[in-house]
Amino acid sequence: MKSIEDVVLIGPVAPPAGGVASSVAALAAALERRGAAVTVVDPGRNRARLVATLLHASATRAVVHLHLCGHNRSSYYLLAATRLLAGLSPVIVTLHSGILPQYLDGLSSTARRTLRALLLTADKIACVSPANAEAVVELGLPRSKVLVASPFIGEGLAGAEPSSPRPEGDIVVSVMAAPGPIYGLDLVRDAFPEVVAARPQARLIVFGTGGADRALAEELSARGLGDRVNALGELPHASVLEVLRASDVFLRPTRADGDSMCVREALAVGCRVVASDAAARPPGTVIFPAGDAALFAASVDRALAEPRHSARGDDGLATLVTLYQELGWEPRPMVSTL
C-alpha cells in the first residue's frame, strides 16, 4: 500500500476556543510528533485555501479528516464539497455534536436517504460517543464503516501548577458558558447559592463565548453573590487549562453533549468534575440527572468531599492513528518534545 505522509485536518481553529478546535489542535500536534506533514484548515475562514488544500490532497492522496458538528445542513454541504475536491484521497469524518441523534431523528425519510448516501462516500465515520454511532448506524450505514473515537487527545497535556495561586481557603468552582439552554447555566444560577450557603468560601469562575459568562455573573450578582463570581469571557486554550488546574470542581451541567473535551481535560489535570448524565462520562465524574438543580447542588458538595486525582480515561489518539494506518498512512519515529 502506498505510504501517506500528509494529513489534512478540516475543522475550527481557535479563536474562538471550543472543544472541537482544541481536539483538532491536539490531534495535529500528536500527528506532527509522528512525522506527519499536517495541514489544518478552518473552513469558515478561508474557502479559497480550503479548495486549494483539498485539490493538493487529491494529488498526493493525503488522508483528509473532516471534523463536523453534524446537526445542520452546512455540515453535510461541507462533506459533499470535501468528497468532490479530495478525489481519491481517503476521507474520515468525525461527528461531534451531542444533539446529532435528535437532529437525524427529526429528518424526513427523503433527507435521511440523501444524508445516508452522502455519508457512505466517506471511508470511515468516527463518532465521539456511542449514541452518535448508533444514530448513524440507524440511518442505514454499515457498522463496519462507523467507529467510536473520543475527541480527547491527552498526549502533551502539560501538568504544570497554575501560575496564579488562589487565596488560602478558597474553594474554586468553574464552568464553561455559552448561549442557549443546552449548556444548563440556569442550573448553575440556582445551585451556586446553595453551594455558597454550605461553603461560604466558595467562588465561581465562568468563562466562555457570546457573553453568557457575563449574563450568569449578573444573575448571581442580583442574588447578592456578585463578589463570589469572576466572569473571564473567552479564553485561549492554555488559559482554560490553567483555570481547570486552579479549580476544585469543574461543572458541566449540559442538557445534551457529545463528548466534552473540558470534562476530560479537567479530570486529566486533577480537577474534580460534576457533569449531567446527558452523555456518557469518563470514570471519575460525579454525575447527576440532567436538568435537576437540587441534585446538581448536592453533587457539587459530594465531589468536594472526594480527593483530587488525575484520571485520563478514554483517549482517541490510538484509535485514530490505527485508522489512518489502515488507510495507508505510516507514522515515522516520534519527535521528542523535551
Whether pLDDT at 163 is above 80: no
Whether pLDDT at 5 is above 60: no
Confidence of residue 179 (pLDDT cuts 50, 70, 90): very high
Per DSSP (E only), the strands in the chain are 6-10, 37-41, 63-68, 91-95, 124-127, 146-148, 171-177, 202-208, 229-233, 249-252, 272-276, 285-288
**What's the confidence (pLDDT) of residue 338?**
37
Q: In what order do the strands lie in the sheet with 249-252?
A: 229-233, 202-208, 171-177, 249-252, 272-276, 285-288
Same domain, 298 and 189: yes
User: Mean pLDDT across the stretch 108-128?
Assistant: 96
Same domain, 117 and 226: no
Same domain, 320 and 279: no
Bridge partners, 172 (sequence order): 203
Considering 78-82, 197-201, 293-297, 321-325, the range whose residues carry the highest mean pLDDT is 78-82
Bridge partners, 41 (sequence order): 10
Bridge partners, 285 (sequence order): 273
Total domains in the chain come to 2
208, 236 contact by CB (below 8 A): no
Q: Is residue 335 part of a domain?
A: no
Same domain, 100 and 222: no
Per-chain mean pLDDT for the chain = 90
Same domain, 212 and 86: no
Q: Among 40-49, 67-76, 148-157, 272-281, whose mean pLDDT is lowest?
A: 148-157
271, 308 contact by CB (below 8 A): yes
User: Mean pLDDT across the stretch 313-329?
Assistant: 86
Same domain, 70 and 182: no
HSE (side-chain half, CA atoms, 13 Å) at 233: 2
Q: Give the number of residues written for the chain.
A: 338
| C-alpha grid cell, residue 304 | 468536594
The parent domain of residue 54 ranges over 6-155+315-326
Helix 293-304 × helix 185-198 angle, to 10°: 50
**What's the confidence (pLDDT) of residue 7?**
94
Confidence of residue 334 (pLDDT cuts 50, 70, 90): low
pTM of the model: 0.83
Give the torsion sign (CA, 324, 326, 327, 332): positive
The backbone torsions φ and ψ at residue 208, rounded to the nearest 5 degrees and listed phi first, read 150, -165
User: Mean pLDDT across the stretch 134-145?
Assistant: 96
205, 174 contact by CB (below 8 A): yes
Same domain, 129 and 190: no
In whole angstroms, give the CA distance from residue 213 to residue 231: 5
**What's the confidence (pLDDT) of residue 331?**
66
User: Mean pLDDT across the stretch 294-304?
Assistant: 92
Confidence of residue 312 (pLDDT cuts 50, 70, 90): low
